[in-house]
């Protein structure tokens, strides 16, 4: 059996295309039941724990984020073979209107992504070029059963001209989000996870083209971050916790 449920995706192609073309300021679509259920469970069952072979992607604007581009010998490797295949890239071109999509066999920056409790990723636009190719699409498949709203970690999509969040997507099991990457495709999960120990797991894929004519030519740049309400929420959580600790200490330390 294939990992990606292509028959289901093809039956929904017109609705996916309509959603992708309708949403603004940059285009995106949320696709449920992306993988065959049994295969999604198989990928999750062998999803590796964070270890010494993972890449620490923490920094000023990211906390608790780890990546692993090596998927050889796993069910995830089958997934990446399919999602990077000419067949699937052709399907994506049909529903997004972006012709001649190219894959990155090295999964640079992509692959397994895992965020631990307390982790976040500030809202940003992605690096725009890789090996001379223009980055055009991201696809993220989430593998988090029974994800609760209070866990946080929602993918936020932002219109930064209006300072308005236009998408807020739970990283639910077997859900895929596809969105275009350009100079206004601001996204992230800036609200820190509060999961009680479980991690936020996903498979990420990036697509490229040889040149682009949909936006003015841009200089090469790395990931560019902005501040949104997630930063303020993290600060409120920190100071509330600090104040709570102070009140607790005052209660215990009786004269």
pTM of full prediction above 0.85: yes
pLDDT value of residue 237: 45
pLDDT along the chain (255 residues), means of 10: 95 98 96 98 96 93 94 92 97 98 94 97 96 97 98 97 96 98 97 96 98 94 86 47 44 43
**237 inside domain:** no
Residue 21 maps to a domain = yes
Q: What is the pLDDT of residue 228?
A: 84
The gap from C-alpha 6 to its chain's centroid, in whole angstroms, comes to 21
In-domain check, residue 77: yes
How many structural domains are present in the chain?
A: 1
List the alpha helices (DSSP H) in the chain. Answer: 6-11, 13-22, 37-45, 75-83, 86-96, 229-252
| 186 within some domain | yes
In a domain? residue 248? no
Q: What is the pLDDT of residue 253?
A: 46
Residue in the structure block whose two tokens are 């600060």: 235
With 0-12 / 13-18 / 19 or more C-beta atoms within 10 angstroms meaning exposed / middle / buried, residue 134 is buried
Inside any domain, residue 254: no
- pLDDT for 229 equals 67
Residue 70 pLDDT: 84
Q: What is the residue range of 119's domain?
A: 6-227
**Which pLDDT does position 73 carry in this prediction?**
87
pLDDT score at 1: 72
**pLDDT score of 245:** 43
Q: Is residue 182 part of a domain?
A: yes
The span from the CA of 14 to the CA of 64, in Å, is 38
- Asked, for residue 93, whether it belongs to a domain, the answer is yes
What is the CATH classification number for the domain harbouring 157?
2.60.120.620
Determine phi and psi for 63, rounding to 5 degrees: -135, 135
| 221 backbone dihedrals φ, ψ, rounded to 5° | -145, 155
């Amino acid at each position: 059996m294939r990992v990606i449920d292509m028959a289901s995706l093809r039956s929904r192609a017109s609705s996916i295309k309509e959603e992708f073309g309708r949403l603004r300021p940059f285009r995106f679509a949320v696709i449920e039941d992306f993988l065959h259920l049994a295969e999604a469970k198989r990928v999750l069952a062998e999803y590796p724990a964070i270890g010494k072979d993972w890449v620490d992607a923490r920094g000023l604007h990211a906390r608790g984020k780890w990546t692993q581009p090596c998927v050889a010998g796993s069910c995830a490797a089958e997934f990446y073979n399919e999602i990077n295949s000419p067949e699937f890239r052709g399907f994506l071109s049909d529903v997004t209107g972006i012709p001649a999509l190219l894959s990155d066999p090295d999964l640079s920056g992509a692959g397994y992504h895992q965020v631990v409790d307390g982790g976040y990723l500030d809202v940003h636009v992605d690096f725009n070029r890789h090996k001379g190719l223009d980055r055009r699409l991201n696809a993220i498949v989430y593998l988090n059963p029974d994800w609760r709203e209070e866990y946080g970690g929602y993918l936020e999509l932002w219109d930064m001209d209006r300072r308005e969040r236009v998408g807020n997507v739970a990283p639910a099991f077997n859900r895929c989000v596809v969105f275009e990457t350009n100079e206004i495709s601001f996204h992230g999960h800036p609200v820190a996870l509060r999961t009680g120990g479980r991690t936020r797991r996903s498979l990420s894929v990036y697509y490229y083209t040889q040149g682009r004519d949909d936006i003015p030519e841009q200089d090469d740049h790395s990931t560019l971050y902005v501040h949104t309400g997630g930063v303020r929420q993290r600060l409120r959580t920190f100071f509330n916790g600090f104040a709570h600790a102070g009140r607790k200490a005052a209660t215990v330390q009786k004269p």
